[in-house]
Structure 1
Amino acid sequence: MHDTRGHALVTGASSGIGAEIAREYARRGVPLVLTARRLDRLEALATELRARVPVEVIAADLSDPAAPAALVDTLDARGIAIRILANNAGYGVPGRYLKNDWRTHAQFQQVMVAAVAELTWRLLPSIRRFDDGRILNVASFAALMPSADGQTLYAPAKAWLVKFSESLAMENVDRGVHVTALCPGFTYSEFHDVTGTRGKMRVSPKLWLDAMDVAREGIDANERGDVLAVPGWRYRMLGTLVKLLPHRAAMALMARNSRKVRPVD
């Protein structure tokens, strides 16, 4: 292993929560590898962060099934060992299930599930070589709620990520590896701009989170060894309330209110 210190690999690092995760790790003195599709955005962020830590940039499109293996091959070729993996890359597909063609859904599942699973599998041996390996999986508060109209694949993908994190945490605790599923609610980022739904969102300003705060809380929770992290006291309170409701009542509540928050075509 050429890299004895270990880098943090952040996927989807070109904007939003991913960029703030990278900035937070840089503030903590952790060398970085940034990956996403948009090379220009990655280079701009890398230029900003290199004043603090070494930063490598690797452009990758995780909707390509060959991308995870190619990404790890590039890391190996550069002699970079990964100590921290932040699986952040993701997006939403607006509308109901039949509104989009199958290729759209297949690419979504490749990015949100298959690429995460493969990248983690390929990098876990490197992460386990360190005494303080870390995996931070950016899920969503949607994973902890009854699924809403128009979230046919998004919420299930994020719920999978929570369960994936729980199993990984138990499997690797004796190796000093902390695994955390970060479950933010509505967060100021490009997420709703990409899906074209920002103008339709009718959410109380009190429920919006700052991406920088989400990143910091997620990394702090991961360092503590928390398997689940829900930023913001309002979301933690709401999550507790939903657990206390009968499932039928929780489903009815979601059905009544989901379109108020996110109208579905």
Structure 2
Amino acid sequence: MTQARPLSLITGASAGIGAAFAHALAARGHNVVLTARRTDRLETLAAELRATHGIDATVLTNDLAEPHAVEQLCRALDERGLQVDWLINNAGYGVPGRFDENDWPVHADFLRVLITAPTELAWRLIGGMRQRGYGRIINVASLAGHVPGTAQHTLYAASKAYMIKFSQSLALENQALGVQVCALCPGFTRSEFHDVTGTRAMMNKLPDLMWQSAQAVVQEGIDAVERGEAVHVTGRVNRTIKALFKLMPDRLALKMSARQSKRYRAQDSST
């Protein structure tokens, strides 16, 4: 089957960076498949994209925390005869609080959404991209994957560091076959992320220069994957932060990360 337009699958498409990817790729003439948990938001976005850009927008509601979610999602794509050219692994969230204070199922769901699901999606879809000689995969990682981990978001930086290394290896394996892979690493981005984690008030203390819009992050990501960059940190401020932490001794970097993170998270008397 030959598709008239490129097809982009976007996870976590209902808001924030995911919705911004949907708008940007639809503006480039892509048909899109939107997946997330909130059907009403996805349907509203899909209708807007159809009306504005004249593209096809398919809604496949899915909860990537479910063990068989990716298999079911890919089966739905096959049943509709949809071949994915661009995969945007964007779905994610944070789990605030000390590691041992959260129940294990909370962590297990997080690991499935942030690590297992994007890895499985890439595994299931990249074969078709290789056969067709064209594909793009953007794994939305984070600046957090480049700097020391912080307390009370114990798995977040670790999951993003995994996505960075995974993307590098996947890029090397496929670069000669027309399939380009990029780990997109934004810093603080204006979205619903901090509302969900309950840290909005603290995040509002950050100066404006620390923030990027979701639209700016997405444009950098699209440009980076098209250039063949395996890893891209967005924004000059974030690239400067990455460079500074890379030059520091590990002990100093960890102390500085701990000191700064305490200013922007809920306090725990035990840490």
TM-score, normalised to structure 1's length? 0.97
State the number of aligned residues. 265
**Aligned residue number for residue 197 of structure 1:** 199
Between the aligned residues of both structures, percent identity stands at: 51
Contact 2:6 2:31 in 1 (8 A): yes
User: Secondary structure, in 3 states, of the residue corresponding to 1:167?
Assistant: helix
Contact 1:84 1:133 in 2 (8 A): yes
Q: Return 5+ residue gaps in structure 1 as ranges.
A: none
Alignment of structure 1 residues 1-265 onto 2, 5 Å: 1=1, 3=3, 5-51=5-51, 52=53, 53-201=55-203, 202-265=205-268
Counterpart residue type for residue 24 of structure 1: A
Contact 1:2 1:80 in 2 (8 A): no
Q: Deviation string for 1:9-44 (max 9, x for gaps)?
A: 000000000000111101111111110000100000
Q: CA deviation at 1:131?
A: 3.1
Q: Deviation string for 1:135-156 (max 9, x for gaps)?
A: 0000011000011111210110
- Paired with 1:69 and 1:102, the residues of 2 have a C-alpha distance of 23
Aligned-CA RMSD value: 1.2
Contact 1:6 1:80 in 2 (8 A): no
- Paired with 2:23 and 2:197, the residues of 1 have a C-alpha distance of 25
Counterpart residue type for residue 17 of structure 1: I
Q: CA deviation at 1:130?
A: 3.1
- Paired with 1:264 and 1:119, the residues of 2 have a C-alpha distance of 36
Q: CA deviation at 1:86?
A: 0.3
User: Secondary structure, in 3 states, of the residue corresponding to 2:244?
Assistant: helix
- Paired with 1:211 and 1:264, the residues of 2 have a C-alpha distance of 28
Contact 2:6 2:29 in 1 (8 A): no
Counterpart residue type for residue 46 of structure 2: A
Q: Deviation string for 1:171-212 (max 9, x for gaps)?
A: 101111110000000111000111111112232221011011
Q: CA deviation at 1:4?
A: 5.8
User: Secondary structure, in 3 states, of the residue corresponding to 1:220?
Assistant: helix
